[in-house]
């Protein structure tokens, strides 16, 4: 009789242990999934690429290569801060088919589709600027006009660029309602024009790896602050 009771008690204890272990495993799996859902995703978009060189500056300097260089450095910086980073391109290729009649439009549509698929917390598109007056220089951040979240994000990133690059004549963020990416993006999106390729001195700096690192560091800091403050 005593042996029978002991066996039953042991069976109950084994069942309880199994249930406890199953509960702990389910809880750990749930926590892991929550962590995966809670990480911040930033989509970094190196503008242009492939047959689309973007702005071409003095001496044939092409924007697309500088955009990619800065974007790769920015990705590394953001990952170091714990962000999940998605790039629209990682090589000198456009997001279009060779046989496409309108490669530019297809490229832009595919960037938008990637944003829709990834649903990032923030999109930062990297570009370089140009102007008819070669003395004009400095970074400027654009956001979709009418988007308050976009404006606040652009304001923070603009300040970070102005401070990090020690800009002598700081620019302010600017709203735009016509840029395709800003108008059609399903996530908060800003376009960071890092400098002017039409300014000889700035064009030289923008090709320098050390200066690109400074841009990436300033962008990463601004992105981090904007996401923390906005609650995105």
The answer on 49 and 124 residing in a single domain is yes
Task: Spell out the SS3 assignment of the chain.
Answer: CHHHHHHHHHHHHHHHHHHHHHHHHHHHHHHHHHHHHHCCEEEEEECCECCECCCECHHHCEHHHHHHHHHHHHHHHHHHCCCEEEECCCCCCCCCCCCCCCHHHHHHHHHHHHHHHHCCCEEEEEEEECCCCCCCCCCEEEEECCCHHHHHHHHHHHHHHHHHCCCCCCCCCEEECCCHHHHHCCCCEEEEEEEECCCHHHHHHHCCHHHHHHHHHHHHHHHHHHHHHHCC
150 and 59 in one domain? yes
Could you tell me whether strands 140-144 and 174-176 are parallel, antiparallel, or unpaired per DSSP bridges? parallel
Task: Give the structural domain span for 9.
Answer: 1-38
pLDDT digits (tens, 9 = 90+) for 75-94: 999 999 999 999 999 999 99
Both 212 and 109 in one domain: the answer is yes
pLDDT (average), residues 50-69: 93
State the pLDDT confidence band at 30, using cuts at 50, 70 and 90: very low
Inform me whether the pLDDT recorded for 32 exceeds 50: no
Tokens 């911040």 belong to residue: 40
Residue 11 pairs in a beta bridge with: none
Mean pLDDT value across the chain: 89
Residues 196 and 223 in one domain: yes
Domain tally for the chain? 2
Q: What is the CATH number of the domain that holds 142?
A: 3.40.630.40
Is 46 found in the same domain as 30? no
Residues for the chain: how many in total? 232
Judged against a pLDDT cut of 60, whether residue 34 lies above it is answered with no
Read off the pLDDT of each residue in 107-125 and give the average, rounded to a whole number. Answer: 98
pTM, two decimal places? 0.83
Q: Are residues 199 and 91 in the same domain?
A: yes
Residues 174 and 130 in one domain: yes
- State the residue for tokens 């652009």: 154
What is the spatial distance between Cα 28 and Cα 198, in angstroms, rounded to a whole number? 55
Instruction: Identify the burial level of 182 via C-beta atoms within 10 angstroms of its C-beta, where 0-12 means exposed, 13-18 middle and 19 or more buried.
Output: buried
* Pair 110, 3 in one domain: no
State whether 144 and 184 are in the same domain: yes
In the predicted model, what is the mean pLDDT of residues 99-105? 96
Average pLDDT of the segment spanning 217-231:
93
Q: Are residues 31 and 63 in the same domain?
A: no
Q: Clarify whether residues 30 and 52 are in a common domain.
A: no
């Amino acid at each position: 009789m005593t042996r029978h009771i002991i066996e039953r008690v042991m069976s109950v204890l084994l069942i309880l242990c199994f249930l406890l272990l199953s509960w702990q495993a389910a809880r750990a799996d749930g926590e892991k999934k929550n962590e995966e859902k809670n990480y911040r995703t930033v989509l970094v978009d190196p503008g242009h690429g492939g047959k689309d060189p973007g702005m071409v500056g003095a001496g044939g300097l092409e924007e697309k290569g500088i955009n990619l260089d800065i974007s790769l450095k920015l990705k590394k910086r953001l990952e170091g801060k714990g962000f999940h980073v998605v790039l629209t391109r990682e090589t000198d290729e456009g997001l279009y088919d060779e046989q496409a009649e309108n490669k530019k439009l297809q490229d832009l549509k595919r960037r938008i589709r990637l944003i829709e698929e990834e649903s990032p917390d923030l999109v930062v598109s990297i570009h370089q600027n140009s102007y008819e007056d070669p003395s004009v220089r400095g970074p400027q951040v654009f956001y979709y006009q009418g988007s308050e979240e976009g404006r606040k994000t652009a304001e923070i990133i603009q300040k970070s660029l102005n401070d990090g690059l020690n800009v002598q004549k700081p620019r302010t963020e600017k709203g735009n309602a016509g840029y395709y990416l800003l108008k059609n993006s399903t996530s908060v999106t800003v376009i960071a024009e890092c400098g002017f390729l039409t300014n000889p001195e700035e064009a030289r700096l923008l090709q320098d790896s050390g200066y690109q690192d400074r841009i990436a560091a300033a962008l990463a800091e601004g992105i981090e602050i904007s996401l923390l403050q906005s609650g995105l």
